[in-house]
Amino acid sequence: MAIRKKRSFHDMIDEYFQDLEEWAEKFGEPFAERPSWNLRNCSIEPLRETLITPTEVLVTLDLPFTSKGTVKVKPLGSSILEIEAKMNRKIRLHELGVTHCEGEFHKYHAHMRIPVPVNMNKMKVNYKKGLLEIHLPRKH
């Protein structure tokens, strides 16, 4: 019969928080809060949604105040997309309700990680009335 050493309450709490920190480092990146704008390059991150189906990944981005000719979608490797679009007019932070700092934006910029394997070579991009749809067929 093995003799188990009794752990103190403090040791159990320390172990719990250590496990929590390891989990946060591993899975916490998508939940990390950060500003959705970059004042250095005058860009704002667009609203986006990713839908994963058995046959494809559909990424939808909201790009108001843009035109089709200014939208650029580039794959960066096998699982990352870079999206840029120039705005037709500048938007100031105070128009968005932000009063604690000042700045203005004239383009959208986003890096997106695709969570499943996709075929970037067969990417299809559709733009209509400020909505950008990116269709990526999944690899099997």
How many H helices and E strands in the chain? Answer: 1, 9
pLDDT band at 77 (very low <50, low <70, confident <90, very high): confident
Average of per-residue pLDDT across 87-107:
86
Residue 50: how many CA atoms within 13 Å on its side-chain side?
12
Average of per-residue pLDDT across 69-74:
94
The CA distance from 94 to 130, in Å, is 22
pLDDT > 80? residue 45: yes
What's the chain's average pLDDT? Answer: 87
Pairing, β 104-113 against β 47-52: unpaired
Domain 30-137 has CATH 3.40.50.620: no
The CA distance from 113 to 126, in Å, is 19
Q: What percent of the chain has pLDDT over 90?
A: 52
The CA distance from 12 to 71, in Å, is 53
